[in-house]
């Protein structure tokens, strides 16, 4: 029980540093009832999968109302693409490009915030979007590449339509916005008269509320996002006007064959500086790399220091949890000790933690966090402090080193069996802990 209590103690404390830098964002939240507040998150599969960002979106929209679904990659950029809150379809034949993976190549079409472009050379090619009722919108934006010989887009949103001519003497990005007289839940576009290349599209509701855009590329790292184009980013940021930019990379960096702390620091500093240069005075929040585990021997010492990561050993989940309310009681005591409000009245009980088997002496090998993850996290924390941007210690708020093992074997599971990705229940838990820390910083 001591091990469990220790893990919970870590998870109950605030993981947010430099929260004062988010004051402009907190101030705008107080006026979310009259104007939309836009959170824009870029990242890897944790962002693309929307388990965490989707749960965070739900929390914010339940409190402040919905301001639309926000910015999305155009169409369906890959198999398994998840779009909570909207349903997206497209016709065959679109050519996909991205900043990472099988759809990355040189030369690449100009990439923007979503890190994807979709191009069609077929007259009549279409994309369509159907929003859930709670994500209705009255502003529909499409961002594309203007160039010589390009075709045009016919845009529909609700009962209104417009034409977006992409033919231009020079190549440049441009976003076109339709403002609607009344909220709608449908939008679509079709191509005519020549090729069309799209970088993103978005839906917003200007009456107020919160919109959270999740723009992630599975398997990618921040250095891949550096392949995006300054001109496209500037045009999109000008039109989408984020109030907070969340940078959520680090997991794939930590699982790299070799993590060089100097090279990663250069990348992180450069990209934070680039975002500031292109977005203006928008607060930035860096999410530290979460706890994640591996059994691959080559991950044990993948940091440039050469220091080997020790095994996780006996998981804290092996502590007895058959006493009703034990975890709830510990959490409430810990919340009280740091001045946080107790749990909401009559909450659903948190997942019970079940004993997790310890793998020793088998062909599968023991679990351990890659050494590179700690390197990445240390660099993120240091750079955030030096550049005066907010930093959230995701690993500490999970409970510390090796707690991914507990999360995988919780009932219901909070993480998947890869010890990296989160279930829907785990996504809700991470989102709640992040929002708790933001609320605490806002109250100060």
Out of 299-313, 352-366, 395-409, least confident range: 352-366
* 221 within a domain of the structure (yes/no): no
| Same-domain status, 62 and 111 | no
- Distance of alpha carbon 216 from alpha carbon 101, whole angstroms: 13
Taking the CB of residue 25, how many other CB atoms lie within 10 A of it? 23
| Same-domain status, 370 and 402 | yes
- Neighbouring residues of 30: CB distance < 8 A, sequence distance ≥ 6: none
* Boundary of a domain, candidates 206, 238, 265: 206
pLDDT band, residue 55 (cuts 50/70/90): very high
* 198 within a domain of the structure (yes/no): yes
| Same-domain status, 239 and 188 | no
* 184 within a domain of the structure (yes/no): yes
More confident residue, 166 or 363: 166
At residue 443, the pLDDT reads 93
- Distance of alpha carbon 105 from alpha carbon 231, whole angstroms: 19
- Distance of alpha carbon 441 from alpha carbon 335, whole angstroms: 15
Element (H, E) at 382: helix 371-387
pLDDT tens-digit series, residues 93-108: 999 999 999 999 999 8
The phi, psi pair for 209, rounded to 5°, reads: 115, -170
* 220 within a domain of the structure (yes/no): no
At residue 237, the pLDDT reads 98
| Same-domain status, 63 and 92 | no
Residue 176, domain CATH: 2.60.120.1360
Q: What own/partner pairs with CB < 8 Å and gap ≥ 24 does 326-332 have?
A: 326/1, 327/4, 327/8, 327/352, 327/353, 330/4, 330/5, 330/8, 331/8, 331/12
| Same-domain status, 87 and 198 | yes
* 216 within a domain of the structure (yes/no): no
pLDDT tens-digit series, residues 285-306: 999 999 999 999 999 999 999 9
| Same-domain status, 8 and 58 | yes
Percentage of the chain modeled with pLDDT above 90: 83
More confident residue, 333 or 177: 177
pLDDT tens-digit series, residues 235-287: 999 999 999 999 999 999 999 999 999 999 999 999 999 999 999 999 999 99
At residue 313, the pLDDT reads 82
| Same-domain status, 150 and 231 | no
pLDDT tens-digit series, residues 81-91: 999 999 999 99
Q: What own/partner pairs with CB < 8 Å and gap ≥ 24 does 310-315 have?
A: 310/368, 311/366, 311/367, 311/368, 312/366, 312/367, 312/368, 312/369, 312/401, 312/402, 312/405, 313/358, 313/402, 314/358, 315/355, 315/356, 315/358, 315/402, 315/405, 315/406, 315/409
| Same-domain status, 184 and 260 | no
* Boundary of a domain, candidates 206, 236, 251: 206
| Same-domain status, 52 and 182 | no
At residue 394, the pLDDT reads 98
- Distance of alpha carbon 414 from alpha carbon 429, whole angstroms: 8
User: Does the structure show a pLDDT above 70 at 45?
Assistant: yes
In the 8-state DSSP scheme, what is residue 193?
S
| Same-domain status, 62 and 149 | no
Cα 47–52–53 angle (5° rounding)?
A: 60
pTM as predicted = 0.87
Residue 53, domain CATH: 3.40.50.1110
Residue 37 in 3-state DSSP?
strand
User: Does the structure show a pLDDT above 80 at 5?
Assistant: no
Helix and strand element counts for the chain (H, E): 13, 19
Out of 51-55, 100-104, 343-347, 438-442, least confident range: 343-347
At residue 364, the pLDDT reads 76
User: Does the structure show a pLDDT above 90 at 354?
Assistant: no
Q: Locate tokens 């160039």: which residue?
A: 147
| Same-domain status, 406 and 437 | yes
| Same-domain status, 329 and 315 | yes
Total number of domains constituting the chain:
2
* 404 within a domain of the structure (yes/no): yes
pLDDT tens-digit series, residues 175-220: 999 999 999 999 999 999 999 999 999 999 999 999 999 999 999 9
* Boundary of a domain, candidates 149, 171, 206: 206
pLDDT tens-digit series, residues 135-172: 999 999 999 999 999 999 999 999 999 999 999 999 99
* 350 within a domain of the structure (yes/no): no
- Distance of alpha carbon 433 from alpha carbon 13, whole angstroms: 9
What's the domain range around 99? 70-206
Residue 112's nearest CA partner among 234, 202, 271, 232 is: 232
* 351 within a domain of the structure (yes/no): no
DSSP of 103-123, one letter per residue? G--SS-----TTSEEEEE-ST
More confident residue, 124 or 340: 124
At residue 314, the pLDDT reads 56
């Amino acid at each position: 029980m001591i091990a469990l209590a220790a893990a919970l103690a870590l998870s109950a404390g605030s993981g947010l540093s430099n929260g004062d830098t988010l004051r402009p964002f907190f101030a705008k939240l107080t006026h979310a009832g009259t104007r939309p507040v836009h959170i824009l998150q870029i990242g890897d599969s944790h962002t693309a999968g929307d388990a965490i960002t989707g749960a965070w979106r739900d929390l914010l929209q339940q409190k402040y109302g919905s301001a639309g679904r926000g910015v999305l990659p155009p169409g369906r950029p890959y198999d398994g693409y998840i779009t909570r809150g909207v349903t997206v379809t497209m016709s065959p034949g679109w050519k996909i490009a991205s900043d990472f993976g099988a759809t990355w190549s040189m030369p690449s079409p100009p990439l923007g915030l979503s890190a994807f472009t979709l191009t069609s050379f077929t007259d009549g090619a279409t994309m369509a979007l159907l929003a859930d009722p709670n994500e209705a919108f009255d502003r529909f934006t499409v961002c594309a590449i203007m160039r010589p010989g390009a075709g045009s887009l016919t845009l529909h949103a609700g009962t209104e339509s417009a034409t977006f001519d992409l033919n231009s003497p020079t190549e440049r990005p441009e976003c076109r916005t339709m403002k609607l007289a009344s909220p709608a839940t449908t939008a679509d576009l079709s191509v005519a008269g020549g090729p069309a290349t799209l970088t993103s599209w978005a839906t917003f509701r200007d009456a107020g509320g919160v919109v959270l855009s999740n723009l992630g590329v599975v398997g990618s790292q921040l250095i891949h996002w550096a392949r995006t184009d300054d001109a496209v980013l500037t045009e999109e940021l000008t039109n989408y006007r984020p109030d907070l930019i969340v940078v959520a990379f680090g997991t794939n960096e930590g699982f790299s064959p070799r993590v060089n702390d100097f090279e990663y620091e250069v990348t992180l500093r450069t990209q934070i500086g680039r975002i500031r240069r292109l977005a203006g005075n928008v607060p930035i929040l860096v999410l530290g790399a979460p706890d994640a585990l591996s059994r691959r021997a080559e991950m044990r010492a993948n940091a440039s220091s050469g220091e080997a990561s020790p095994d996780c050993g006996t998981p804290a989940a092996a502590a007895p949890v058959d006493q009703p309310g034990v975890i709830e009681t510990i959490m409430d005591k810990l919340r009280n000790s740091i001045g946080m409000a107790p749990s909401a009245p009559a909450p659903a009980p948190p997942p019970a933690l079940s004993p997790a088997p310890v793998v020793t002496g088998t062909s599968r090998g023991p679990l351990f966090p890659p050494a590179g993850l700690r390197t990445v996290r240390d660099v993120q924390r240091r750079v955030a402090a030096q550049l005066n941007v907010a930093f959230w210690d995701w690993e500490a708020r999970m409970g510390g080193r090796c707690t991914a093992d507990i999360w995988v074997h919780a009932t219901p599971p909070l993480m998947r069996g890869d010890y990296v990705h989160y279930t829907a229940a785990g996504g809700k838990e991470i989102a709640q802990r992040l929002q708790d820390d933001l609320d605490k910083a806002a109250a100060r």
